A and B are shown apart, each in its own frame.
Chain A
Amino acid sequence: GEQVEQLPSSLIVQEGASVLINCSYTDSASVYFPWYKQEPGKRLQFIIDIRSNMERKQTQRLTLLFDKKTKHLSLHITATQPGDSAIYFCSGTNAYKVIFGKGTHLHVLP
């Protein structure tokens, strides 16, 4: 079935560093790609999204790149802070079906 592969599974960085999280998906029909952040013990919360007719989206310290040809997404987080420590999930949606990556555990050390 459709899959979303997310790498790396975990990251440990020093405060101020930049990080890159990658996702590859198999479903060519996916048209919308929201990302979510889950702080320890909390709910998933939407952080950024991109649609299949876009290549790049940026909000504050987040930049999301999308390559439709290779079915690849990259989330770039700059100037990381301890508050960025969380699990980050990519996802792809096709109509009602939402497929999640397995998540990237990010630890930002002060």
Chain B
Amino acid sequence: DMKVTQMPRYLIKRMGENVLLECGQDMSHETMYWYRQDPGLGLQLIYISYDVDSNSEGDIPKGYRVSRKKREHFSLILDSAKTNQTSVYFCASSSGQSGNTLYFGEGSRLIVV
């Protein structure tokens, strides 16, 4: 069963707190992504991971970091969350280079107050 799973689905945090968003996939995909989705802005790429311990900044990496210690698992960390990081975060995976579609998780809705 091809699946991308995100946890938690909903999260409320206070400004300055740390946030951990987790993503898992069962397809042995090499490449994984973290996006955030905001109204009117579409999907913005935060980080991309090509495989274990091989991560690269996307278009908006500031305020975020990632960890990929196992191929099937990709974490997004917010150290000291800010109110402008309130968003819906999507994880995705693909089997690699051009010509492959992305499989998305169901999203994690983060509210920072």
Contact = CB atoms under 8 A, between A and B. Distances in A.
Contact of B98 (A6, A36, A45, A95): A95
B105 A96 contact: no
Interface residues of A, number: 24
A51 B97 CA distance: 13
Give the interface size class of chain B: 20 to 34
B42 to A, nearest CB: 4
Interface stretch (B12-20, B43-51, B66-74): B43-51
Contacts, number: 55
Contacts of A93: 98-100
Contact of A43 (B48, B90, B101): B90
Interface core residue of B43, B50, B92, B99 (most chain A CB under 10 Å): B43
Interface of A: 1, 6, 31-32, 34, 36, 42-46, 49, 51, 89, 93-98, 100-103
Interface of B: 4, 31, 33, 40-43, 45, 48, 50, 59, 90, 92, 96-107
